[in-house]
Amino acid sequence: MIDIGTTTNYGFKTYSTAEISDEYLDTYIANVSGNGANSNISKIDIAIKNVADAAPLKSVTATATLSAASWGSTSPYTYTYNNANILNSSHPIELLPGDSITSAQLEALQKANIVGGTQSTGQIILKAFGEKPTIDIPVRFIFRRDI
């Protein structure tokens, strides 16, 4: 047999049956590992890709700085954060202190008592039910897609 290619998604090898003279063997090889879209190996390749495409999404992270100047003026103070990784409201978002946060910024984050508010694709409105932040606060977001 001559190696003539690989499948599209997972690189399974496909072979030519040109050098095999036995008609039964030719048919068998063509059906199992032939180069066409109807060969079994091509069908397996497509089936595995379909399963992989249907697998749950993985969570992603982002860093941001919540600017003191961007908080609303009345309690609860609101802050609109936009990010293309934000999915609809059925996908939770975690807010954590940023890696570079200072003790003053952490204190402001804790005193703000920030929770998630309205969430839609690409956007979340955070709410501070405590003190309005007066300094910029570095944060990390985890956009959960796996639950």
Convert the pLDDT of each residue in 1-32 to its tens digit.
Answer: 445 567 777 666 665 555 555 655 666 555 56
Can you tell me which residue has the tokens 């609809």?
88
In the prediction, which pLDDT does 1 show?
47
Q: Which residue has the higher pLDDT, 97 or 55?
A: 97
Q: Which residues contact 82 (CB under 8 A, 6 or more apart)?
A: 122, 123
Nearest-angstrom CA–CA distance, 1 and 59: 45
What is this structure's pTM? 0.64
Identify the band that residue 35 occupies on the pLDDT scale cut at 50, 70 and 90: low
Contact 24, 32 (CB under 8 A): no
pLDDT tens-digit readout, 36-58: 666 767 778 888 888 777 767 78
